[in-house]
């Protein structure tokens, strides 16, 4: 009997300790290796775990402690001084041309001997590769590539191409079709569309938009930008989002000769470049402080977006879940549209709203990025710090 009692007492003591240990272990993965904070902040919560307490920030380090006593992780802290940016929320037209040409398809060659597989495909050129040079000469666009191939008087060429940011070279034996040499590729050199501006920093003239990269519709690979422009645009209609069918803002460019900014970067966190004061939101025209992820809370928030000719408006959303991330990505938080007016007009989040700034406690904390196909009122947002980092505004 005494042994049974001792065993019960032991179980009663060990079980809570095991639960606490497991709970803490899994929550450690949610604690980032590095956080950004405003300069006047002395302490911060990096997790919602009630058992994990943070100590004060000392020498750019935050010691995370279990029960406020046992150190379990050290977090690097980067302090940012008085950072304010102008919120976006306005529609912008986007036109970009690529470095070289993007491979979007393979095509067979009809020869005298019959149909042959694409020479480029046989040589290992894949969809999403970016062809930058042929025999050492730059490829400017699709027409330039076609001209260079048509003018060849030999069947073997050397192609320079980029794949996942890495430059490679490959020899390709061409095939002839109607007495002309052919690579057997479909390529693309430009794209255009509309999106939403996220922020404009007047101190540096840098803007950020979209919150996710511009990718090719056929290959889902990001475009490598040679040059691009941000333009005035206007929403002309809305296709309402429904379960299984994402909605869309349909718009057109206004005065393509009047550029609002030059697009220089296309990254996992959006598009970035230099602009001018024309990018300042005409209605929400006061700069907002930046709220880093350590300040964001699950619960009520707002987005600023434009869905019709009435211009940018604030709409109510809810931050359902904050997700752990160690590198920039477009899925930092799960958000839900709860504003009845927006739900009635759009069904929730629609294509073209990407980049709409997310506001909480009068701070800009992120941007809308994606919608869930089967739940048009639910989608994702990105932490603003990822966009500011890729823009070069913070380290």
Beta bridge partners of 231: 93, 259
Q: Who has greater pLDDT, 181 or 139? A: 139
Contact 75, 33 (CB under 8 A): yes
Compute the mean pLDDT over every residue in the chain, rounded to the nearest whole number: 86
**Angstrom distance (rounded) from CA 367 to CA 89:** 10
Closest CA relative to residue 251, chosen from 274, 231, 234: 234
Beta bridge partners of 379: 335, 371
Contact 214, 266 (CB under 8 A): yes
Q: Active-site residue among 54, 189, 339, 377?
A: 339
pLDDT of residue 286: 95
CA dihedral 63, 68, 73, 79 (to 10 degrees): -30
pLDDT of residue 50: 44
Helices (H), 76-219: 119-123, 142-150
pLDDT tens digits along 15-29: 665 555 554 544 545
**pLDDT over 90 (residue 278):** yes
pLDDT of residue 15: 62
Sorted by where each starts, the structural domains of the chain and their CATH numbers stand as 2-80 (no CATH), 84-96+190-391 (2.40.10.120), 108-183 (2.30.42.10)
Q: Is 354 tagged catalytic?
A: yes
Closest CA relative to residue 307, chosen from 87, 88, 91: 91
Q: Active-site residue among 233, 294, 354, 356?
A: 354
How far from the centroid of its chain's Cα atoms is residue 64's Cα? 29
**What percent of the chain is modeled with pLDDT above 90?**
58
Phi and psi, residue 135, nearest 5°:
50, 40
pLDDT tens digits along 101-133: 999 999 998 877 778 899 999 999 999 999 999
Contact 308, 337 (CB under 8 A): no
**Angstrom distance (rounded) from CA 74 to CA 59:** 12
Q: Is 370 tagged catalytic?
A: no
pLDDT tens digits along 283-327: 999 999 999 988 899 999 999 999 998 899 999 999 999 998 888
Closest CA relative to residue 103, chosen from 37, 185, 192, 28: 185
pLDDT of residue 315: 98
pLDDT of residue 40: 64
Phi and psi, residue 242, nearest 5°:
-135, 165
pLDDT of residue 43: 55
**Angstrom distance (rounded) from CA 329 to CA 212:** 8
pLDDT tens digits along 32-84: 667 676 766 655 555 554 444 555 666 666 666 665 556 666 666 667 777 99
pLDDT tens digits along 330-365: 999 999 999 999 999 999 999 999 999 999 999 999
pLDDT of residue 114: 79
pLDDT tens digits along 187-236: 999 889 999 999 999 999 999 999 999 998 888 888 889 999 999 998 99
Q: Is 377 tagged catalytic?
A: no
Q: Active-site residue among 54, 129, 212, 332?
A: 212
pLDDT of residue 388: 96
């Amino acid at each position: 009997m005494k042994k049974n009692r001792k065993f019960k007492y032991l179980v009663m003591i060990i079980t809570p300790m095991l639960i606490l240990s497991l709970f803490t272990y899994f929550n450690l993965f949610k604690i980032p290796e590095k956080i950004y904070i405003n300069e006047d902040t002395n302490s911060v919560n990096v997790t919602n775990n009630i058992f994990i307490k943070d100590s004060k920030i000392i020498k750019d380090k935050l010691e995370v402690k279990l029960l406020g006593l046992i150190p379990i992780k050290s977090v690097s802290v980067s302090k940012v001084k008085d950072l304010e940016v102008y919120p976006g929320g306005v529609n912008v037209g986007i036109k970009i041309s690529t470095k070289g040409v993007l491979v979007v398809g393979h095509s067979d060659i009809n020869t005298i001997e019959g149909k042959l597989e694409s020479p480029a495909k046989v040589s290992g050129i894949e969809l999403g590769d970016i062809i930058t040079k042929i025999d050492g000469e730059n490829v400017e666009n699709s027409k330039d590539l076609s001209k260079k191939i048509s003018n060849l008087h030999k069947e073997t060429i050397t192609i320079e191409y980029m794949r996942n940011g890495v430059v490679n070279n490959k020899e390709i034996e061409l095939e002839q079709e109607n007495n002309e040499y052919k690579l057997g590729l479909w390529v693309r050199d430009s794209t255009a569309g509309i999106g939403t501006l996220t922020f404009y920093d007047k101190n540096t003239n840098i803007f950020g938009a979209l919150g996710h990269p511009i990718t090719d519709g056929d290959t889902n690979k990001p475009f490598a930008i040679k040059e691009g422009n941000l333009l005035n645009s206007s929403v002309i209609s809305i296709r309402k989002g429904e379960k299984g069918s994402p909605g869309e803002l349909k718009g057109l460019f206004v005065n393509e000769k009047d550029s609002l900014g030059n697009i220089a970067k296309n990254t996992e966190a959006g598009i970035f470049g230099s602009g001018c004061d024309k990018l300042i939101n005409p209605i929400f025209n006061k700069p907002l402080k930046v709220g880093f992820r350590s300040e964001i809370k699950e619960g009520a928030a707002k987005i600023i977006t434009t869905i019709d000719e009435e211009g940018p408006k604030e709409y109510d959303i809810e931050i359902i879940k904050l997700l752990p991330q160690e590198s920039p990505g477009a899925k930092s938080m799960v958000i839900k549209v709860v504003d009845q007016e927006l739900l009635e007009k759009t069904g929730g989040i629609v294509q073209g709203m990407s980049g709409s700034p997310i506001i909480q406690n009068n701070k800009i904390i992120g941007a809308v990025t994606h919608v869930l196909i089967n739940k048009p009122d639910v989608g994702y947002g990105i932490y603003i710090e990822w966009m500011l980092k890729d823009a070069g505004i913070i380290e």
